[in-house]
Amino acid sequence: MTLTDPLELLDIAGLLSDEERQIQETVSRFVADRVRPYVAEWFEAGTFPRELAPELGKLGVLGMHLDGYGCAGTSAVAYGLACLELEAGDSGLRSFVSVQGSLAMFSIWKYGSEEQKQEWLPRMAAGEAIGCFGLTEPDFGSDPANMRTRAVRDGDDWVLTGTKMWITNGSIADIATVWAQTEDGIRGFLVPRGTPGFTSRTIKQKLSLRASITGELILDEVRLPDSARLPGARSLGAPLSCLNEARFGIIFGAAGAARDSLRTAIDYANTRVQFDRPIAAFQLTQEKLANMAVDLNMSALLALHLGRLKDAGSIKPHQVSVGKLNNVRKALGIARECRTILGGSGITLEYSPLRHANNLESVLTYEGTSEIHTLVIGQALTGHAAYR
């Protein structure tokens, strides 16, 4: 017997419901048809096709774990499995869906007014409007509490000034959730494209996440009515809760990149002949494949466990940190090791592992660096916040 999927090693699919498997298979088919044949070209060109947004909306993955307002209202596990299949295509694709649903849409769904929800969420769920999430700044990534972007009251309005950096979808977004310091602490604001004083630019010459649009947001005395403020967001805890939503998708997504890399390496090893036999028949190659398959299956089990905790409403932030730290780290190691099995062919875009490895270098850093997640876990174990 030969396994067709490395996750068959521990029969991960047997732990899923029929509905969860159907959702996973539907997203997998979409990726096979609409992403896999073209993603190498997008990566090389450094672009993300905006026309995919309504297709992803029709697929139902934009804000799919949210209830109401045109959102599918699926389980956390179903959302995670969708992220796994999306990132098996490319981290840029999963990043688009994560930022749209778990950052931009979730911030409105969780902290917005009813008017804000009605105005934006149905259009965003359909992929008709694209969102971004403006938290990170040029000088403040891991330390958002000290952000420099300011929002000052001026009569009935707010005036925002500052710069946000490394913003996925930033230069193509129709609406930005922007976080700013106020006299009463950190607050969130919805800034539509076209607002006077609000501009963006695309960050070029990236070596990672090339099939994703990354931008800088510039706010030069942007005047907004109080109705643009997210009324439920009253502290730094609001944007951090949004980040935890996005990190959850990464836990599954990283496993998808690792699975695709391993599948590619196994297929290649079975067809690449050296010394009169396929390199899959050599002990050194089998040791690599076996070790990677064990790491992949452990990552998938961790993701599924955390998904069940999230669906039960009992997941804790440090548990999300465990998942993000472990699964991205393991996925990056798997993608790199798979490249070695491919030899020289592995440096081309004909094969996915090095593309995944390049992308995962960014995933290792964004939504909390590996160092920050390590310290979150350390604090849970010792009670001491070493980063403060």
What distance in Å separates the CA atoms of residue 287 and residue 162, rounded to the nearest whole number?
A: 52
Q: Name 214's bridge partners.
A: 168
Helices first, then strands: H and E counts in the chain: 12, 9
Evaluate whether 49 touches 215 at the Cβ level (below 8 Å). no
- The alpha carbon torsion through 223, 226, 231, 235 (nearest 10 deg) reads 50
**367 carries an active-site annotation:** yes
Provide the 3-class DSSP secondary structure of residue 274: strand
Ramachandran class of 133: left when φ > 0, alpha when ψ lies in -120 to 50, beta otherwise: beta
Evaluate whether 297 touches 10 at the Cβ level (below 8 Å). yes
Q: Which of these is catalytic: 19, 44, 367, 371?
A: 367
Provide the 3-class DSSP secondary structure of residue 157: strand
Evaluate whether 53 touches 61 at the Cβ level (below 8 Å). no
* 33 Cβ contact list (under 8 Å, min separation 6): none
Q: Which of 34, 132, 31 is nearest to 87 (CA)?
A: 31
Please count the residues of the chain. 388
Q: Which residues are catalytic?
A: 367
